[in-house]
Homo-oligomer: A and B are copies of this chain.
Amino acid sequence: MARSPDPALAERRRRQILDAAIACFRRRGFHQTSMQEICAEAALSAGALYRYFPSKAEIIAAIADRVGDEREPLYEAIAGGANVVESLCALAEGAIERAGESCSLTAEIIAEAMRDPALTQRFASKDAREHRKLSLALAAAQRGGRVRLAMPAQRAAGVLMLMLDGLTLRAAALGAAGARPLLADFRAAAERLILPPVRPIAARRTSHALSAETDR
């Protein structure tokens, strides 16, 4: 008799439960959704569900991890891209659209990340990794002569991530439409932190160019 545990089934069940939970949370939010509703959506009994997730909070934690994992490769892309500012704006736009698409889910994840110490820890270390990646990408672009940074790479990365967090928060609270106008502000700030390399021919502009409102 097959009495040994089946890891493939377990994985399938976890995915099945997570998909059902996401569908429910999108519809009615995290705290308005009951475990019974998730069970119904997943076509499983309560007992079966609790075999794969020890609590409702763990379901949110698993969803948060999934979302966080999707975001990380985007930072990788910055190191490769030709235009750093453009890559950052694309990342920012992606964050807004993604967070706005299902704001209630994003809001819930942020809320839960702040409530649950275990999730906070995971988010903090993910954040540190992203910060390091962005710092390295900026420093590399500077060394390669593709940009001039207006401040040390680590500081610039910190500032950019503060703004990205702000954008995500707005998108979660106000929807993508509420955050999208701020993308232009983000771009303007990024262009002040990450400057194009000095033209090799001549640097004709004097410092008053700083106060010019439009540059292109």
Contacts and interface: CB of A to CB of B under 8 A. Distances in A.
B184 A155 contact: yes
Interface in A139-198: 148-152, 155, 158-159, 161-167, 169-170, 172-174, 178, 182, 184-186, 188-189, 192-193, 195, 198
Copy number in the complex reads 2
B120 A115 contact: no
Is chain A's interface secondary structure helix, strand, loop, or mixed overall? helix
A202 to B, nearest CB: 10
21 contacts: A31-B31, A104-B115, A108-B111, A110-B111, A111-B111, A151-B188, A151-B192, A151-B213, A155-B185, A158-B182, A159-B185, A162-B186, A163-B166, A166-B166, A166-B169, A169-B169, A189-B189, A189-B193, A198-B211, A203-B207, A207-B207
Interface of A: 29, 31, 103-104, 107-108, 110-111, 113-115, 120, 123-124, 148-152, 155, 158-159, 161-167, 169-170, 172-174, 178, 182, 184-186, 188-189, 192-193, 195, 198, 203, 205-211, 213
